[in-house]
Structure 1
Amino acid sequence: MNQTFSKMKRVHKIEELANKTVVFDFEGTLLRSASLFPYFMLVAVEAGGLLRSLILFLSYPLVLLVGEDQLGLSIMVFLTFFGIRKDTFRIGSAVLPKFFLEDMAEEGFEVFKRCEKKVASSKLPRVMVEGFLKDYLGVEVVEARDIKSFNGYFLGMFENWKENKTPLYEAKQDTDNNIGIVGSHIEYIGQELFPHFKKVCLKLSCEERRNWHVLPKEKYPKPLIFHDGRLAFRPTPASSLVFLMWLPLALFLSIFRFTFGIALPFNVSAPILAFSGTRTTLSRLHYPLSLIPNEKKQKGMLYVCNHRTLLDPLYIAYVLDQPLSAVTYSLSRFNELVAPIRTIRLTRDRDRDRETMDKLLSLGNLVVCPEGTTCREPYLLRFSPLFAELTDDIVPVAVDVRVSMFYGTTASGHKCLDPFFHFLNPNPTYSIKILERLPPSQTCHEGGKSRIEVANFVQHEIGNALGFACTSLTRKDKYMILAGNEGVNGESCHNCH
C-alpha cells in the first residue's frame, strides 16, 4: 500500500514538471550507473594514455574507501586531468556522448523530455559534460565545476564555486514557472539558485536505478553518427581489469596478425589469421558472369564499397582473390609502404582525381570508397559521385566490421596505427557482401542517369544490404563535428543527394 502511494505521489510530481523550468541532477536522473569511474577511465585512456589509465585503475580501491562523492571524486579528477592540455581536449564532445547515451535510462529520459526548459547539475567536470548536455539534450545552462589550469594545462583540481564563474540561470527571475529540482544529489548546484525554485525532489534508490531500462537508439534525442576514441567498450572496473590483462597478449597478437596478413598470400594467411581469432565472412550473389567487365571498353571492374576501416580494400582484394588497386585520401605513408595492394593517393582535385582513377581502371580492377572517410555507426555518408562517371561496370560491395574492445579508426589520433588497433581485438570480424553489378538502366552512359543519381542508387543498395541508414553528411561534416566547430543531423535515406 505504501509503495503504491509512493508511486502515485511520484507520478503526480512528474506531471507537475511538464512545461516548467527544471533543475535536474544529470547522473542521478538520467544515468543508470551509480559509478563515475568509467567516464574518468575513458578520459584517462584517450587523453592520457596507458600509464595514466593504469594509475587511475590502481587507485580505484582508495576512491571506493573514501567515497566517490567528494574526496574520491577529487582523486579521480587529479589523476585523470593533471598535465592534460586544455586547448586540445575534445573528449567531452567527441568520445563521451556515445557512452552517456548507452548508459541513459529510458525512465529518466521520459521524465526529462517533459520539461520545457532544463538546467543540468553534474558532479563531473564541466569539460566532460557540457558539450553532451547542450548538443544532445538541449540543456540551456550546465551547473558544473571547472578545472583549474595553468599555462594551457589542467592542474587536476576543481575551481571553487565562487571562482567558477558559471552563468546562473536567467529564468530564476520568473519564480512562478521554476518548479523543480530533480535527482538524488543537489549539493553541487549553486546555492543562489535554491530560493528561486520550488523543490520537487525525486530521490531514487539504488535498487530502482538497477531496474531502469536502457534508452533505445530510436529514442535518442539526436542520432549518434560520429564519435571518436579508441575504446569500444565501457571501462567499468571489471572490464578495465580484463582490458589491462589482455593488452600484453593483444600487442603480440596484433603484430603477428598484421605481419602475416601483409606478407603471405590470402589463401595461406587466411587460415592462420582465422586460427588467431579473426573472422571474415563473404556472401555474394550467384552470378559470376555479371562480374566480367565489358570487353569493348577495355577497362577493369570498379568495386564501390562503404568505408569502415582502412583495411576495406585489402579485405575485398583478398576475398575476391583478384589483383586490385585502391585510391585513398588520407592513408599514412607507412601504410602505403606496407600495403600488399597498389594504393594511389587522391588530391581532392576533381579533374586530376578523375584522370588518375580512369588510368587505374584501364590497367585493371579498382576499388573506391566514395564516402571519403570511415563511419563507425550503422549509417552511410553521402557518396561522392565521381566514380559514376568512370565506367558502367560498377559492383557495389557492402562492408561491415564488428569489434569488442578497440576501434580501428580515428579522426584525431595516429592513422598509421589503425590496422594495429583493429587487430588488437580478441575476435575482429569483417563481413563482406558482393552485390549484383549495376543494371545498365542505372548507369550514366548506358542508362542516361546523372552521376548523382547513380551515386545515390549505389548508396541505397549498400544501405539496404547492411540495414544501415543513409545520410547526406560528408567527410567535411564528420571532421567539423568531431572538432567541435558545428554539428549536423543525419537525414533519411530518401533525402540523399
Structure 2
Amino acid sequence: MIYVQLRKSTTENADADGARLFDPIDTADARPEQRVVSLLEGGLLRSSSTFPYFFLVALEAGSPLRALLLLASFPIVWILTHILQCRDADIRLYAFVTFAGLRDAAVRCVARAVLPKAFLDDVHRGVHRVFATCDRRYVVTSLPRVMVESFAKSFLETEHVLGSELHVTRGGWYTGLVRGIPRGRERYRAVKELNSPDIGIGSDSFAELCKKAYIVRDHDGDGEQAKISAPPLIFHDGRLVHRPTPLWALTILLWLPFAIPLAITRILLGICLPKRVALPVEHLLGVSVRVRGRLPPRIFQPSQRGVLFVLSHRTLLDPVFISFVMGQAVAAVTYSLSRVSELFSPIRTARLTRCKDRDARSMTRLLAQGHLAVCPEGTTCRQPCLLRFSALFAELTDTIVPVSLATTMPVFHGTSARGWKCLDFLFFFMNPAVRYEMEFLEQLPPDQTCGGGGRSSHDVANHVQRLIADAMGYQCTTLTRKDKYRVLAGNDGIVTSKNPNLGL
C-alpha cells in the first residue's frame, strides 16, 4: 500500500515515540492548482530497477552485442550496489555500456518510439492518480534525462524532468560519461529549487520540502496494468514484446540458439509445401491459425475474376496466411516490401506506387486473374486500433470481403518502423508459438458498394473500416502511415530506392 504523510507541524507528524504518522492515500486531497513532484523509479513506476530501459536503448539504438554486454554487467552492478554499497554505480556503469559511441539522434528516436511503451507498462496506478490531478507536474529520476523526457512530457504531461545528464561531443556522439545524478543530496537540492512543491511522491527526502508527501512503502495490490488519463499510446516500436527484466533478457538470450533454426524451418516449409499442406505442418511447429466466418469459393479457372479481400494490417504475413487458409495463392499489393521479403514470399506481390491511376490498373489486372488481398491502412499498427483506410480499393470492384486479423506474439514483434524490414518475417517466426486469428465477414451487399449502390469510395472505405473494427473490438482512427512514421522514425514514411527497407 501507499501512505500519505501530511506535514502540518512537527507535533502533528509525530507520535509519543517520535515516529511519523501516515494516512492512507485514499484520504489524500490533491487539487488541480497544486504542484506535484514525483520520483520516477519506485514512485510513478512500480519497479525501481533501471536495467530494462538501458537494455532497450542498448538493443534498439546499439546492437544485440551491446545489449549482451549490458546483461553481462548486471551481476557486477548488483554486487557494487547491494554488497559494496557503491552509490550511483548502476547508473554510471549502465550508462557507459549503453551510450558510449551512440549517436544522439538514434537515442532520441528510441526514447520517442520504444521507451514509452516500457514505461507505461510499469506505471503505478495509485501514484499516477494523485500525480495527474495536479496541473503543474515535475519528475525526478536518476535515469538520463534524454531517456525520460519524451515519455514524461507526452504521456504524463510533465512540465519539467530533473534527471542525469550525459556528455555529448560536438559531433553528436555520446561518451558514456554521466554527471549530475539526482540522488541523495543532489535530489534534495533539485527539489529545493522548485520552491516547496505542494505534493511530493517518492522518498523521505521529499517530506522535508513538500507540504504533503506520498511515500511508496510497497506495492501490494498493484498487479493490474495501469490505466492512466493521458494521450493513448497508438504507435510504438521495438522488437521485444515485454519489458526486459534481467531474467527475461537472459531467457531471450538462451532461446535464440533454438529460435533461429526454428524460424528458418518454418519459413522453408511455408515456401516449399503446397498451400493446403503447409498450414497443418506449420501447426505442428507452433504456428496456429483460427478461422471464423465463411470462406469465398476457390478459383479453378485462370480467367475467373476474384474476390477483393480487405484486411486489417497486423504483419507483412497477412496475405500469406490468407493464402494458406484459402488453400491457393492469393496475390497481394504492398506499398513497400523489402527485397529479401519479396524473394522469400510464397505468393505473388505487386508494389504500389502512390500513383492512383497506375495502382488502379495494377490491382484491376490482378483481380482479373484471381483473388487479391489489400491492406488499406498502408502500414501495420500494434495497438487495438485501425488506421484510416485508403479508398482506392472501393473503386475497383463490388466483390469485397472484409477480413479481420489479429496476431499473438509472445517474445518478438514481427514488425518494425525503424529496423530492418527484411528481418520482420524472421522475428515473427522466431517466437516459440505464434497465433493468427482471422474472421471472414460477409461480402458487402451491392447497395453498399460504389458500383451497385452509387456510394462514394470514401463512404465505402469508412464503412468497411467500421465493420472490421466492430468485429475485432478495435477503435477506428483517422491516423495514417505518415502519422506513424513521423512519431516513430521522424520522417513521412516515403519509400525511395535508396531506402528499400522502410516499409510496413
For normalisation by structure 1, the TM-score amounts to 0.86
Cα distance, 1:484 vs. partner? 4.7
Q: Decide which of 64, 67, 74 is 1:60's aligned counterpart.
A: 74
After superposing the two structures, state which structure 1 stretch, 55-64 or 396-405, moved more: 55-64
> Contact conserved, 1:324 with 1:342, CA < 8 A, in 2?
yes
Q: What does residue 100 of structure 2 align with?
A: 82
Q: What does residue 10 of structure 2 align with?
A: none
Q: Decide which of 211, 214, 225 is 2:221's aligned counterpart.
A: 211
**CA-to-aligned-CA distance 1:408-453 (integer Å, 9 cap, x gap):** 0000111011000000100011111111100112101111111111
Cα distance, 1:220 vs. partner? 4.6
The 5 A counterparts of 1:17-416 are 18-67=32-81, 70-89=88-107, 90-150=109-169, 151-160=171-180, 178-184=197-203, 198-205=210-217, 208-217=218-227, 219-285=228-294, 299-416=305-422
Q: In structure 2, what is the Cα distance between the partners aligned to 1:258 and 1:292? A: 24
After superposing the two structures, state which structure 1 stretch, 258-267 or 312-321, moved more: 258-267
Kindly tell me: are residues 291 and 6 of structure 1, through their superposed partners in 2, closer, same or farther at Cα, counting changes over 3 Å? farther
* Secondary structure, aligned partner of 2:265: helix
* Secondary structure, aligned partner of 2:224: coil
Cα distance, 1:186 vs. partner? 5.8
**CA-to-aligned-CA distance 1:342-385 (integer Å, 9 cap, x gap):** 10001011121112111211222111000000011111101001
Cα distance, 1:252 vs. partner? 0.8
For normalisation by structure 2, the TM-score amounts to 0.85
* Secondary structure, aligned partner of 1:144: strand
> Contact conserved, 1:121 with 1:186, CA < 8 A, in 2?
no
Q: In structure 1, what is the Cα distance between the partners aligned to 2:363 and 2:131? A: 52
Kindly tell me: are residues 28 and 170 of structure 1, through their superposed partners in 2, closer, same or farther at Cα, counting changes over 3 Å? closer
Q: In structure 1, what is the Cα distance between the partners aligned to 2:282 and 2:125? A: 41
* Secondary structure, aligned partner of 2:137: strand
Kindly tell me: are residues 240 and 363 of structure 1, through their superposed partners in 2, closer, same or farther at Cα, counting changes over 3 Å? same
Cα distance, 1:271 vs. partner? 2.7
Q: In structure 1, what is the Cα distance between the partners aligned to 2:482 and 2:264? A: 32
Cα distance, 1:210 vs. partner? 4.4
* Secondary structure, aligned partner of 2:142: coil
* Secondary structure, aligned partner of 2:216: coil
After superposing the two structures, state which structure 1 stretch, 49-58 or 343-352, moved more: 49-58
Q: In structure 1, what is the Cα distance between the partners aligned to 2:134 and 2:44? A: 13
Kindly tell me: are residues 143 and 455 of structure 1, through their superposed partners in 2, closer, same or farther at Cα, counting changes over 3 Å? same
* Secondary structure, aligned partner of 1:283: strand
1:469 correspondence with 2:481: no
After superposing the two structures, state which structure 1 stretch, 419-428 or 55-64, moved more: 55-64
> Contact conserved, 1:104 with 1:214, CA < 8 A, in 2?
no
> Contact conserved, 1:403 with 1:427, CA < 8 A, in 2?
yes
> Contact conserved, 1:25 with 1:186, CA < 8 A, in 2?
no
Q: In structure 2, what is the Cα distance between the partners aligned to 1:260 and 1:185? A: 60
> Contact conserved, 2:30 with 2:130, CA < 8 A, in 1?
no
* Secondary structure, aligned partner of 1:202: strand
Q: In structure 1, what is the Cα distance between the partners aligned to 2:42 and 2:365? A: 60
Cα distance, 1:230 vs. partner? 0.3
**CA-to-aligned-CA distance 1:85-110 (integer Å, 9 cap, x gap):** 11222111100111111111110111
Q: Decide which of 411, 414, 427 is 2:433's aligned counterpart.
A: 427
* Secondary structure, aligned partner of 2:373: strand
**CA-to-aligned-CA distance 1:279-320 (integer Å, 9 cap, x gap):** 1111123xx6x6589x9x963211110111110011101101
Query: Gaps (5+ residues) in structure 1?
Result: 163-167, 188-193, 487-497
**CA-to-aligned-CA distance 1:159-182 (integer Å, 9 cap, x gap):** 3479xxxxx999979x58x42332
**CA-to-aligned-CA distance 1:103-127 (integer Å, 9 cap, x gap):** 1111011111111101111111111
Q: In structure 2, what is the Cα distance between the partners aligned to 1:16 and 1:303? A: 52
Cα distance, 1:215 vs. partner? 4.1
**CA-to-aligned-CA distance 1:26-56 (integer Å, 9 cap, x gap):** 2232111121111112222222222112211
The two structures, once aligned, show a CA RMSD in angstroms of 2.8
Aligned letter for 1:24?
A: S
Q: In structure 2, what is the Cα distance between the partners aligned to 1:172 and 1:74? A: 24
> Contact conserved, 1:105 with 1:214, CA < 8 A, in 2?
no
* Secondary structure, aligned partner of 2:93: helix
Kindly tell me: are residues 124 and 446 of structure 1, through their superposed partners in 2, closer, same or farther at Cα, counting changes over 3 Å? same
Q: In structure 2, what is the Cα distance between the partners aligned to 1:186 and 1:132? A: 25
Cα distance, 1:330 vs. partner? 1.1
> Contact conserved, 1:459 with 1:470, CA < 8 A, in 2?
yes
| Count of aligned pairs | 461
Q: In structure 2, what is the Cα distance between the partners aligned to 1:386 and 1:171? A: 59
> Contact conserved, 2:450 with 2:456, CA < 8 A, in 1?
yes
Kindly tell me: are residues 186 and 36 of structure 1, through their superposed partners in 2, closer, same or farther at Cα, counting changes over 3 Å? farther
* Secondary structure, aligned partner of 1:143: strand
Aligned letter for 1:272?
A: V
Aligned letter for 2:48?
A: A
Aligned letter for 1:79?
A: V
